[in-house]
Structure 1
Amino acid sequence: MKMFGRLLLLFLLVAGIAQAQLTTATIVGNIQDTSGAVIPGAQVTATNQETQFTRQVTSGSDGAYRLDFLPVGTYSLKVEAAGFQSKQQQGIVLTLNAEVHFDASLNIGEATQTVDVSSNELPLVETSNATLGRTVTNQEVDNLPIVNRNVYDLLTLTPGVQSSSNVNTLGYPQQVVYMNGGTDNFVGSVSYYLDGGLNMTFIRNTGNVLPNPDALREFNVQTNNYNALYGRMSSGLVNVVTKSGTNKIHGSIFEFHRETNFAAAPAFSAPGPKAPLHRNQFGATLGGPIWKDKTFFFGSYAGLRQITSSTYNSALVPTAAQRAGDFSANLPTSGTPSSCPSNTSSVVFVVCDPVTRTPRAGNKLASSQLDPTVQRLLARIPLPNATGIDTASGRTTYRWQGIIPSTLNTDEFLIKVDHQIGTHRLQGMYFNTAGNQQQSPGGNIDWSRQNFVYRQQNGNLSDTWTPSANVVNQIWLNYTRMIGGRINTPQLSLADFGSSFGIQGASMLPQLTVSGYFTAAQAISGPVTGTNFYSLRDVVSITRGKHTFSFGAETSLNKDLQYTYLNNYGVFAFQRATARTNAEISDFIAGLPATMNQDSPVQAADNSWFSGIFAQDDYRLFRNLTINLGLRWDVQTSPTDPKDRQSTFIAGQKSTVYPTAPTGLLVVGDKGVDRGIVATRWHHVSPRVGFAWDPFGNGRTAVRGAFGLFFGSVSGNEWNGVSNFQPFAVRNRYSFIKSMTDIYGDARSFPNGNPYPYVYDPKNPRPFISPAQVQGIDLDYQWPYVYQTNFSVQQQVTNSIAVSVSYVGSFSHDVPFAPDINYPIYATATSPVNGVTTSTTSNYDSRRPIQGGLGIINLIQSKQRANYHGLQITGEKRLSHQFSVKAFYTWSKTLSSASVNNSGAVIGTAQDFNRMQDEYGSSDTDLRHQANIAAIWKPAFFTSSPRYVREVVNGWTISGIAQLNAGTPFSVTTGVDNNFDGYTSDRANLSGNAAVGITSGRSRADKINAYFNPAAFCSYTGSTASCPAGVGPGGLDGTTRRNNYFGPGNRVINAAIFRDFGVYEAVKFQLRAEVNNVFNLVNLSNPTTSLNSGNFGKITGAYGVPRQIQIGGRILF
């Protein structure tokens, strides 16, 4: 708190920034006479043509002027000077974060004479700063196809945005964006803003929901070397601004509809009727004046009602006879043998007694061998309603198939008020959205469902104060809350079916996987997951001569909460290889699982402060050269848990707070272990420098470059993942389960009986369940940081066409990764480990270097790195001759030292944690080629034809987005644990017998059947004569590199066509059709890459969605 006090004091003494404005824009320029001499003291007045808001400055001694913090909109600019004719520019459109350059050359004459100029004379190149990015304008939001009505879908229109996707893993929507090789989003890569306030959830550092497109004006994306105003995230930012009220009443009423008949069938779907689809989005907006020229309002409502369906047809389910223990239909044609044979089929097998291992008479279980709990569970498992043929045996199989609907309902409200009082412009915005989404079953039968329920609230207050012509101050208050939950139904547990299973937390059905038959899937339930975020920021801009000085400070408090039951319901596997009755399905009927996973619920909370101070000088060294100098200092406290559920690992030190913990595992309060684990890092100083040069001084050519340092953040999910393991929770896998009715009856797994409920209590330490998997945070952990650089040349070719070429570099350091620091050592007779002379898949824990009851030890460290190099070429034609287009092509390469995924409980994977040098290769997000074209066309044919012809043919708007991407990388794996380390991330070897065979020009059918040559790869297990040895101990690590191969590319073309029909005066009706994937292109997914899969090398799925047509109508006024 002392640190916060100091920063708050500093915050009150200094203020912010000018150029990197969150919700506004800037006009800059020079005033001169026709001979080129500068005109000091000229009066420059900018007037918003929609609200009559005005801002006035005078040109300096060098004739330069600057108007900062102008609300986005359309402006007129008037320049007046004694002895000269005034000059007025109409129709200057200020977009978000834009810096519009307008030079005025005044003629000698009477001041009453005014010269108007066209807005088409405004330059298309950036001559004032070196930030890379793009603003998606209101025209594009209104005109381009957004079939899902989610403006985030337009993010990929920006060069450098490699991918943008919406996921839902926490019970609420999360936007995940990768920019210019930025590492995993969950470590703090991208910032998301809505009307100047952060609009994100810090559980996983993802973007929150946005208002509907009718409520949004535009958004700005910055991808490289953004201004010193921005901190906390290291790759880029997305800044969205809503519409505002004006002096005229304006708004819209809209509805968009999609249904089954408007959609094509998905690729790889089974023959039969299409799964039903019904989707309606509707709403309205309204804005206008409360007090003309002073106070304005804007409001919006939107709702979504959607029903989608999933088709299930792959599950084999037990027949009525099998449910009674009668497997006579599965008996081999040779009859019952005298001894129990090995089983190689799920359809033809001999049932054996689980105790005597002798064949059962008639292939039937005795009635006493039928598990009572399973008999009750069978009432929830559907009977077969379809048949098939087992290709290996020719026997009839009995399947269940069905279509299961799921629903999604959302509602949102937005209210915004702007008020101009004297030299203050006040703005307030409140946004509230809530949703309820019912998920389809996760397995292949109708077993359990999840409802995702969430609510998001955003509140912003800001004041822009202009105490003098060249001084502007802006202050923001921001509150963002996102809270959601995953609620499982039905709320029944094994205990409700007569089992001794000890449920801890909410009741949920178990997960049952019967190999070769069905998966009755369950999912982790989290009733409460969310973020409360509070921030305060103040900014000021002072223009003095050639300098625009900026100073500022911000501080924020983030409070994360997660309460999840994990796998408290029990995860049961029935497998042929370990079947006690010789078959997985008969094991299920007898209630004899091979393994069970059971977790105790986890509650975790993270509270952290983030504060920063920053300074910027945009120094106009010469009339045609601007230098951008920025410096930022950030301080983020390590997230703390109110109940101190955090741990670390220091070899040899014994915990005094939790004495039953294995040696080395320490918790908060132990010697050297403070709250938050990691000491506050005070050295996060980020210098940033850039230049923008107009070499010919005509505003049509720009040479720009920049270099900067950007620190990232950590997500709550990353930090509190340690609470998922002992001593805070139990996540164990048990191999000896007596039966589904008597879960804890086998002392080999449960020497002390039922360990649940398990509650963390340092005052009453519980014995550890060995071998204990634990996770900790390295005391030397450092926050990730990125060096960004760019160099670009822009050229305006005509008044409406411009092109640019840019080099973009990004170099990430201290990327989080959690290796297993207790990684098993390969043991041989000549190199024994802890007395063990052989390495097997059952003695991992005996071969670990740290014993004492410890198994896996994942320690979150910051030792990984990544780098990105890209060539980005863009072209733009602004609207002229009824046509506009923006396009780009990117050629890039992203390399990283490991596969890092921070969305799970454990961060990152590797083939061999002792050979991390083998992991360096293409990043998971390496996208070598990317092209995008967005075009808007307003055709006007037959201008001399009769009126009825013109009315029918003309007046339409046609728009489209075409995206073409190269394939994403993949690794070829064995699918088994070749190197006996307890992980199945082992990569394959090249056999040397055949070429890999990934070549161009092949047909789609060929690629689907074999994307690569399966014979090119092999798995070495130590004695495989047909496969050469690999690397590492025993030659058991694969020789193929991580992400060494690339999958099929993809291309999507979306389109829209619409027309406005006059209804009454300013009221129009818009008829609109939008099409997703117009040509129903099939974008093949990556192939199956696991050697042990029957589909190895084959492609079994597709990315994206098939063609979907959406019809909509809007009333505009």
Structure 2
Amino acid sequence: EFKVNTTLFPAEQGRGFGFSSYTLKSGTNSFHGNAWEFLRNDALDARGFFSRNKPIVRQNEFGGTIGGPIFKDKTFFFGTYSGFRRGGGSPVRGTVTLPTPAFRQGDFSQLKDAKGNLIPIFDPDTTNPDGQGGFVRTPFPGNIVPANRISAVAKRVMDLLPDPDFPGIVNNFVSRSTTNVHRDVFSVKIDHNLTASHKLYGSLTRMFRNTDESDTALGDNPLDSGYPSGGPTTTWRVNHDWIISTTLLNHFAFGFHGLSGYGRRPDEPKGDLIQLPGTPPGAPGMPAFYIGDLPELGNSDQQPSLRWVQTWNLAESLSWTRGRHQFKFGGEYWRQKYPTLAQEAGGGLSGTFSFSNLETSQPNSPNYTIWGTPLASFLLGQVDYAGKLGLGQRRTMEEYYLAFFADDKIQISPNLTLTLGLRYDIPWAYRDNQRMSAIDLALPNPGAGNRPGAYVFGADKIAAPIDWKEFGPRIGLAYSWNSKTVIRAGYGLLYSQTNATALGGFQAGGNFFEAGAASTIQSPNNGVSSAFHLDSGFPALPSPVDNLVPSINVGSTADYMSPHGGKAGRTHNWMLGIQRELAAGIVLDAAYVGNKGTHLPAGLDNFNQVPFHYLSLGPLLNQDINSPEAIAAGIVSPFPGFSGSVAQALRPYPQYIDIYNPAQPVGNLSYHSFQAKAQKRFNKGLSFLVSYTLSKSLTDTGQGGFTIWNAGPQDIERHRLEKTIAPDDRTHTLVTSWVYELPGKNLRGLAGGILKGWAVSGITDYHSGTPIGFYGGQNTPIFNGADRPNRVPGEPARSNVSAGSFDPDRDLYLNPAAIVGPAPYTIGTAGPSEPDLRGFAFFEENFSLIKRTYIPHIRENFNVELRADFFNLFNRVVFSGPDAGFGSPGFGRVGGQANVPRIIQLGLKFNF
């Protein structure tokens, strides 16, 4: 059994903002157990809203448990086995966009935006100075790319794509996602009473899993991005309890968790299908192509890879009752080792290629970011950004963690209890046996005229330093107003993992490893010219480095470890609540719960952004540093041999195209809520739980949530522009669960056999939609992120179609008039999310029907349980969020279902 804790915690619990506590069942002096089978079949399921047919689904979950004595009153065992088999498609199949036959041939004469305006396509080969410091291009006649201009690689990719299912240019193909899973889990627990004061117990769990194939949108197609994965998991624990005296108890625990995993097998050379120049012959992975709103085509992660995560845990605690005090002292130690062979990072051996509309748009036009299309750029071979790994990466990352805690629960009076606690966390960042590399921002770079910013290798200073100040106090109060009313209050400061812990192998450098190098390359001038032509293949990678020189990666991407990266995310939690017991075993709870998070991981610290005030240079930013316009403006090269745009020259570290800065403890979050709960303990055949939450959460960590992968802020100097309603904010949440045993349990004979033992149960989940934010605006050439449009005052963000009558084939969810493009070389006024714009509300009811029949003549308490579970009983449809991209042909359109259509599961269980 397990329970989830999410509000206030004793000091014994740490290193997270929410905890799940598990209790493993033990054997007794009697043999007990069960066996079960749960079955799912598509014949019982409903069809998804966007699916033409129900996907074939065959799912079985089966297993059993048995426990009993090994030596009576002394040694006991409890064992389990669980098997899971699943084959077939996902029950939720939304739509994705595939190119129409005309688009695949380069005919974009029907490419129109949400307002019905033609989106013009411009010829990148006609790019010329406009005489005013900018550039101009000529549109393709008829908006058609000539057939002789289409890239040979792009044509092979187009030939592999399936045809659309429906007419139209967006949401015209039903996803074919499938997953075939084979999983077996074995577990055993042994309890042994050494003496009346000493108890020793331990458990071992082994899981074997294999996902034969995990196809995504394209299903069984060479361009699908899915790939097999799997591997065994081993977990064992040993615990010792020592009753030292009637007031003193010692608990010791030692455990290990090992998780291994593998990626695509090396005998699947899918990369040969594309014949991309520069791809190694027999490469197992398909190159990855990111083309606007199309699904990912190929996947550079389709590479052989091995991972073996090994975690050792040791915990010790001492509980002591003395007078009015209940003390608990202890600590824990973790060691995690992460050996891996990875060939998918940095673009993989086959490469990752991204395409933008900018290469086929009109530079310096107010519509630069909405004209053109990534698909046309792809057909013309105009790569905007690409990454590729030269050789596989072998590394062994290690992490350590140490913590101490003390709790004291004080009975101040019969009615008042005070709980005090303090936890001290000492987290280490990942390290890799002196093989890490990153830049030192102060070190002179001999390859860049001794400008600051150069690589160092194998030094401890690369790893984030330990934060020695992670003290987490806890305080709680409980006051019994009377025998039926309790008032509670509390505060706690909790720390999560250090920001540098989440890096895995990335801390070793996305571009330099012990045996090889990866490279990234991108358009040098914001899409005025491409990074390279697709048919030429990825530019030659550097050879493995023999001498570790500080100037490595000049002109490419660098890695950086912030000296503050060792700080852990932390939250201040507080609450004030009241609990009241009513008649019939009903308990009411009401509480205000709040928290404030700081030092959260976020992609906000984009310190190699061009300072914002340089936007006043306008089109000059895209000019080459040696152009007459740049020379006339007095822009000088930052170091000898520099070649790049004016914007690149104005970066704080112009020697690097980009700086990967993964450990950024700069994010913030606030949460305030009213939480109410009514619970009835099981009595007279009925129990229920009703909970309601009214809440609001704000954050500046980006619409992607707490992640190092956010695109970055609009302006590094104004993080406040990123403060918004959190992406997972739900204003209202109402969840209910109930169990009711039908009357008749005292009936006997035939009537009893038929009528007694029936029970019904249900779970309902209703909550508000989550926030939506507009994206896309002016693609400013200062290497910032989060381009957003302008909001039009007075225009509602939503269309005037109600959610209840919304038809995705006919209606737009968003109002196209609500946003416009910002003026050139400015940023938009829209926020990361809009306070007046949310997705569809969620409604779902689940229902179970259970029949339990006792058969005492086989064995006392032997019973058979039959059950039918109905998930999404009324087959409600909750649509996914709309396309909110400014200028997108699919703006405002909805093409997916956010919930699962009705699923019926049948179960059979024997209990003894």
1:724-754 Cα offsets, whole Å, 9 max, x none, are 433445341355687666425xxxxx4xxx1
Q: Which amino acid aligns with 1:991?
A: V
Distance 1:585 1:786 in 2: 44
The one-letter code matched in structure 2 to 1:951 is G
**Could you tell me which residue of structure 1 aligns to residue 838 of structure 2?**
1046
Residue 565 of structure 1 aligns with an amino acid whose one-letter code is: E
Query: Unaligned stretches of 5+ in structure 1?
Result: 1-217, 334-342, 745-749, 1023-1033
The structure having more radius of gyration, on CA atoms, is 1
1:76-155 superposed matches below 5 A? none
- The SS at the match of 1:1081 is coil
2-structure distance, mates of 1:986, 1:845: 19
Pair 676,550 (structure 1): closer, same or farther in 2 beyond 3 Å: farther
How far the C-alpha of 1:928 sits from its partner, in A, is 1.8
Instruction: Look up the match of 2:75.
Output: 295
User: CA contact under 8 A between 2:207 and 2:234: conserved in structure 1?
Assistant: yes
For residues 505 and 515 of structure 1, the distance between their equivalents in structure 2, rounded to whole angstroms, comes to 28
* Equivalent position of 1:427 in the other structure: 201
Identify the residue that residue 687 of structure 1 maps to in structure 2: 473
Q: Which residue of 2 aligns with 1:861?
A: 664
Residues 784 and 499 of structure 1: CA distance in aligned 2, closer, same or farther (over 3 Å): closer
Give the partner amino acid of 1:543: T
1:878 maps to 2:681: yes
Partner of 2:364: none
1:589-988 → structure 2 map (5 Å cutoff): 596-600=386-390, 601-647=392-438, 649-650=440-441, 652-654=442-444, 663-667=452-456, 674-675=460-461, 677-696=463-482, 698=483, 700-714=484-498, 716-718=501-503, 720-728=505-513, 729-734=517-522, 742-743=536-537, 750=539, 754-755=540-541, 759=544, 763=548, 767-779=552-564, 782-798=567-583, 800-818=585-603, 819-826=605-612, 827=614, 844-856=647-659, 858=661, 860-899=663-702, 901=704, 906=709, 909-940=712-743, 947-973=749-775, 975-982=776-783, 985-988=786-789
Q: Deviations over 1:145-180 (max 9, x none)?
A: xxxxxxxxxxxxxxxxxxxxxxxxxxxxxxxxxxxx
* 1:181-220 to 2 correspondences below 5 Å: 218-220=1-3
Match of 1:528 among 306, 309, 313: 306
Asked if the contact 2:338/2:504 (under 8 Å) is kept, the reply is: no
Question: Contact (CA 8 Å) 1:384, 1:400: kept in 2 or not?
Answer: no
- 1:1060-1079 → structure 2 map (5 Å cutoff): 1060-1063=852-855, 1064-1066=858-860, 1067-1079=862-874
Pairing 1:223-262 to 2, within 5 Å after superposition: 223-233=6-16, 235-262=17-44
Counterpart Cα distance in 2 of 1:300 and 1:1096? 51
How far apart, CA to CA, are the structure 2 residues paired with 1:786 and 1:400?
Answer: 44
1:539-585 alpha-carbon deviations (Å, 9 max, x no partner)? 111212222222212222122345342222123457787579x9998
Distance in 2 of aligned mates of 1:869 and 1:1054:
29
By how many angstroms is 1:1087 displaced?
2.3
Deviation at 1:985, TM superposition (A): 1.9
- C-alpha separation in 1, matches of 2:742 and 2:204: 40
Tell me by how many angstroms 1:803 deviates. 0.8
Report the 3-state secondary structure (helix = DSSP H, G, I; strand = E; otherwise coil) of the residue aligned with 2:508: helix
SS in 2 for 1:704: strand
Deviation at 1:383, TM superposition (A): 7.8
- For residue 793 of structure 1, what is the amino acid of its counterpart? I
Contact 2:801 2:813 in 1 (8 A): no
Query: Structure 1 residues 506 and 457 mapped into 2: Cα distance closer, same or farther (>3 Å)?
Result: farther
**Maintained 8 Å contact 1:933/1:961:** yes
TM-aligned CA deviation for residue 849 of structure 1: 3.2
Query: Relative to structure 1, is the Cα distance of residues 229 and 661 closer, same or farther in structure 2, using a 3 angstrom cutoff?
Result: farther
Change (3 A) 1:434 1:294: same
2:260 pairs with one of 471, 480, 483: 483
Q: Secondary structure at the match of 2:86?
A: strand
Corresponding residue for 2:365? none
1:194 aligned residue:
none
Match of 1:444 among 213, 218, 238: 218
Letter aligned with residue 1069 of structure 1: V
8 Å CA contact retained: 1:649, 1:778: no
Indicate conservation of the 8 Å contact 2:317/2:329, yes or no.
yes
Against the structure 1 CA distance between its residues 778 and 660, is the aligned structure 2 distance closer, same or farther, given a 3 Å change threshold?
farther
Measured after TM superposition, the shift of residue 857 of structure 1 is: 5.6
C-alpha displacement at 1:511, in angstroms? 2.6
- More displaced, 528-537 or 569-578? 569-578
Q: Structure 1 615/995 Cα, relative in aligned 2: closer, same or farther at 3 Å?
A: closer
Aligned CA RMSD, in angstroms, stands at 4.3
Residue by residue over 1:683-719, the C-alpha shift from the partner in whole angstroms, topping out at 9 and shown as x without a partner, is 22222221222233x3x32111112222221263336
Partner amino acid for 1:261? Answer: A
**3-state DSSP of counterpart to 1:845:** helix
Alignment of 1:342-357 (within 5 A): none
Q: In the TM superposition, what is the alpha-carbon distance from 1:904 to its structure 2 partner? A: 6.2
Q: Which residue number in structure 2 is paired with residue 1055 of structure 1?
A: 847
Distance 2:301 2:325 in 1: 56
- Mapped to 2, the partners of 1:989 and 1:464 lie a distance apart of 64
Contact 1:554 1:613 in 2 (8 A): yes
1:264 aligns with 2:46: yes
Question: Which one-letter code corresponds to 1:540 in the other structure?
Answer: L
Amino acid at match of 2:326: T
Amino acid at match of 2:453: G
- TM-score (structure 2 length as normaliser): 0.81
Native 8 Å contact 1:317 1:400 kept in 2: no
Q: Write the distance in 1 (CA, Å) between the matches of 2:815 and 2:668.
A: 32
Conserved in 1, the CA contact under 8 Å of 2:475 and 2:490? Answer: yes
Question: How many percent of aligned residue pairs carry the same amino acid?
Answer: 22
Q: Closer, same or farther in 2 for the Cα pair 1:532/1:230, shift >3 Å?
A: same
Give the 3 Å change call, closer, same or farther, for CA 220–762 of structure 1 in structure 2: farther
Tell me by how many angstroms 1:960 deviates.
0.7
Offset of 1:951 from its aligned partner? Answer: 3.5
C-alpha distance in structure 2 between counterparts of 1:678 and 1:1014, whole Å: 46
**CA shift digits 1:961-980 (9 cap, x unpaired):** 1111111122122x244443
On the 8 A contact 2:272/2:282 being kept in 1, the answer is no
Shift of 1:844: 4.0
Which residue type is aligned with residue 558 of structure 1? Answer: Q
1:966 touches 1:1049 (CA, 8 Å); kept in 2? yes
List per-residue Cα deviations over 1:621-657 (Å, max 9, x = no partner).
222222112122221223212243243543x42269x
> 1:257, CA displacement in angstroms?
0.8
Shift of 1:252: 1.0
Tell me if 1:570 matches 2:348. Answer: no
**1:605 Cα offset (Å):** 3.9
CA distance in 2, matches of 1:776, 1:565: 22
Secondary structure of 1:1003's partner? helix
**Residues 799 and 1091 of structure 1, relative CA distance in 2, 3 Å threshold:** same
Deviation at 1:838, TM superposition (A): 13
Deviation of 1:820 after TM superposition, in Å, equals 0.9
User: How do 1:10-49 and structure 2 match up within 5 A?
Assistant: none
Cα 1:373–1:487 shift into 2, 3 Å: same
Equivalent pairs, count: 839
**Pairwise CA distance, 1:877:** 0.6
Alpha-carbon contact 1:647-1:777 (below 8 Å) kept: no
Alpha-carbon distance change, 967 to 800 in structure 1, aligned in 2, over 3 angstroms:
same
Change (3 A) 1:488 1:470: same
Deviation at 1:871, TM superposition (A): 1.2
Q: Is the 8 A contact 2:357 2:373 kept in 1?
A: yes
8 Å Cα contact 1:482/1:530 also seen in 2:
yes
CA distance in 2, matches of 1:931, 1:465: 44
The residue number in structure 2 matching 1:418 is 191
Select which of 326, 335, 347 maps to 1:548: 326
Q: Secondary structure at the match of 2:661?
A: strand
